[in-house]
Amino acid sequence: MTNLKNKIVFITGASSGIGLSSARAFAKKGAKLILAARRIERLNTLAKELKKNYKTEALVVKLDVTTKSKVSSFINKLPLKWKSIDILLNNAGLSRGLDKLHEGSIKDWDEMINTNIKGLLYVSRAVIPLMVKRNSGHIINIGSIAGHEVYPKGNVYCATKHAVDAITKGLRMDLVDTNIRVTTIDPGMAETEFSKVRFRGNVNKAKAVYTGIKPLTPEDVADSIIYSATRPENVVIAEMILLPNKQASSMVVHRN
Ligand code: NDP
Ligand code: 8X3
């Protein structure tokens, strides 16, 4: 088993949902954390909580993954003790809107593409060379069931998650001659702030997504992330699709 004690874990989008729950789960295992997101106050509160509960050492950074120059300069300027990142959790992501393609907002498309694809690429491009130099590391991308199937009005969001799937597979090939592991965790419905963000704060619309079904919790997803990170070094969990019971696919959901 891979022991996570004192491993350095860099989590993007640690201020909410899956990223936040993963931070707690890694902290519980004794890891040191680099916590990144735009909402720095939330990260500061989380770092305090983790220090109190688990004596976690955490480095908090206000980082928008879509700002290429900030991403690379943050990684380049990391103090030596934080530079040997063992695990990169590429989690920051969002959906905006649920519209027919010909009626969709180009601004929404740009935001999803810039965050879910380009942001993940910028972070990966900055961090992975450090892992290659040490011939050690693990990249865990958060994809989605939407990276395997497309649903009506999900057009561009689904395209971004299909891109994450392709990037993950390509990366695994490119790193095949190293000890670095590459994983994608692909959840179905998980109740986080995801739908609130998609519907721009419309709480009723967001709640309706999870009506009559017990969705995954962010802790359920974090549990799978920890599972993949703790396998023995010779084992790669390449991809894991995680669904709540009563969800069979993006479109087939049995609601009470
Ligand atoms: P949340 O909205 O709860 O969390 C999203 C996180 O991403 C926040 O911490 C947010 O931080 C961060 N984020 C968004 N944009 C940026 C940015 N430009 N720069 C840095 N951080 C950013 O949703 P989830 O936890 O559900 O989402 C996490 C990942 O899981 C996403 O990639 C999503 O696509 C994926 N996913 C979610 C599913 C679900 O049903 N919830 C299912 C499948 C996949 P801040 O706003 O502070 O910057
Ligand atoms: C997020 C979940 O249902 O939009 O990836 O595919 S869903």
For the chain, the domains span 8-242
Q: How far apart are CA 132 and CA 130, in angstroms?
A: 5
Ligand 1 lining (C-beta closer than 6 Å): 12-13, 15-19, 37-39, 63-66, 91-94, 115, 119, 142, 144, 187, 189-190, 192-194, 197, 218
Q: Which of 52, 77, 157, 227 is catalytic?
A: 157
Residue-wise burial string across 118-134, b where 16 or more C-beta atoms lie within 10 A, e elsewhere: bbbbbbbebbbebbeee
Q: Which CATH number fits domain 8-242: 3.30.379.10, 3.40.250.10, 3.40.50.720, 1.10.3720.10?
A: 3.40.50.720
Residue 161 annotated as catalytic = yes
Q: Which of 62, 161, 196, 214 is catalytic?
A: 161
Residue 133 annotated as catalytic = no
Q: How far apart are CA 19 and CA 12, in angstroms?
A: 7
Distance of CA 111 from the midpoint of ligand 2 (Å):
16
Which amino acid residue places its CA nearest to atom 23 of ligand 1? 194
Cα–Cα separations (whole angstroms), residue 162 to 105, 147, 156, 205, 249: 20, 4, 10, 25, 15
Gap between the terminal Cα atoms of the chain? 40
List, in sequence order, every beta strand (DSSP E) within the chain: 8-12, 32-37, 58-62, 87-90, 138-142, 181-187, 239-242
pLDDT tens track, the chain, 256 positions:
999 999 999 999 999 999 999 999 999 999 999 999 999 999 999 999 999 999 999 999 999 999 999 999 999 999 999 999 999 999 999 999 999 999 999 999 999 999 999 999 999 999 999 999 999 999 999 999 999 999 999 999 999 999 999 999 999 999 999 999 999 999 999 999 999 999 999 999 999 999 999 999 999 999 999 999 999 999 999 999 999 999 999 999 999 9
Residue 201's Cβ-side half-sphere holds a number of Cα atoms within 13 Å equal to 0
